[in-house]
Structure 1
Amino acid sequence: MFFYNWPRNFYYYPGLKEAVDFVKKMGFNPLRSQFVAAVNIMLFMQKAEWEKKFDVYKRWGWSEEEIFTAFRKHPWFMITSEKKIMAVMDIFVNKMGWEPSAIAEQPILFSVSLEKRIIPRASVLQYLLIKGLLKNKPLAARAFTQCEKSFLQKFVNCYAEAPHIMKLYNEKLDLSENRN
């Protein structure tokens, strides 16, 4: 799979062996697609950039083990820009009240659109919590990764205030459309 998708990596990148060895030491299974993703990320990311992002996550309270575990779950989270990391963590920790370690367990959250998914959906969930319509804080990435139809069914259309909630959701989506 690696050779098929990125054949030039075999002759352009002398650090391929080191990247493969590092990823194997981290516990990736070479037969899984996550292994290929991790190797590519290690090849293309400068060491200084890796360390900077590592430090950003540590500033949010993640341990080294949490960062490595998140990388094993979803390697692509390490290519997220520092600006987006800060924005995602701010929303989930400061606005939603999640623990940083809960986000470390769900690194896929860094791969979804901040403007088109996280902000509108977080607004809906916050509204539902404030109104006492949700019994527990949703600590799962599912509300942010599921398709729009499923999200609307589970968190908007099933409530009597659905028109108001939908208006809130659409306002946040419209804001994201106007930014682009």
Structure 2
Amino acid sequence: MVACAERLGVPRGSGMLRQALQAVAFRSEEKIVARLKYLKNTFGWSDAEASIVVRRYPAVLGKSKESLKCRSEFLLSEVGLEPMSIAHQPVILSLSLEGRLRPRYYVIKFLKENGLLDGDPSFFTAVKMTEKVFMEKLISPHKEAAPHLAQDYATACKGEVPTNFIFRWTRNRL
């Protein structure tokens, strides 16, 4: 198993070795190769990019194909991220699509579209923020202009808004 982890680019002594061992423990070489091929095809990664992902987030090998496909469609098509940027920050693949990625994306999109966003935080920055910091920096400052933003975000985080982030605020209320 250690040799397999090393072939994936996770050396002995690496902080990721334990994760890598768990990822390869019950998978044959063929299944690992097939999963790498699936990752490359699904995200449009090169061999080098797929290697970066596995080194930084070995648990990606254990993600279901459906989970990976949904994340790929959302991150590449809807958010518009580049495959290389996902490869360099693969922790994003560990975050909940419905509970974190999608709700935070729609908050940022809403704020940008309505001219309420000071600066331009990246999607990666927003999803990596703790819940407290996200609320303080991106929700709370807009209580007056978008009074339902916090409630809509909380509802979306529960997965109750499957594909559309519904806001009850419009430009006319400015």
Q: TM-score, normalised by structure 1?
A: 0.75
Task: Tell me which residue corresponds to 1:165.
Answer: 149
Closer, same or farther: CA 165–66 of 1 in aligned 2, 3 Å: same
Closer, same or farther: CA 123–27 of 1 in aligned 2, 3 Å: same
2:138 pairs, out of 151, 155, 158, with 155
2:70 pairs, out of 87, 103, 112, with 87
RMSD value over aligned CA atoms? Answer: 2.4
How many residues get paired?
Answer: 159
Greater share of residues in helix: 1
Which secondary structure does the structure 2 equivalent of 1:32 belong to?
A: coil
Q: TM-score, normalised by structure 2?
A: 0.77
Most deviating of 113-122 and 25-34? 25-34
Deviations 1:62-85 (A, max 9, x none): 111111111111111221111111
Map 1:11-160 to 2 at 5 A.
19-59=1-41, 60-134=43-117, 135-136=119-120, 138-140=122-124, 142-159=125-142, 160=144
The answer to whether the 8 Å contact 1:77/1:108 transfers is no
Deviations 1:109-158 (A, max 9, x none): 12111221112112112212222334436142x42233211111122112
Deviation at 1:31?
Answer: 2.1
Letter in 2 for 1:45: R
Deviations 1:93-116 (A, max 9, x none): 111111121111111112111221
Distance in 2, Cα, partners of 1:63 & 1:28? 18
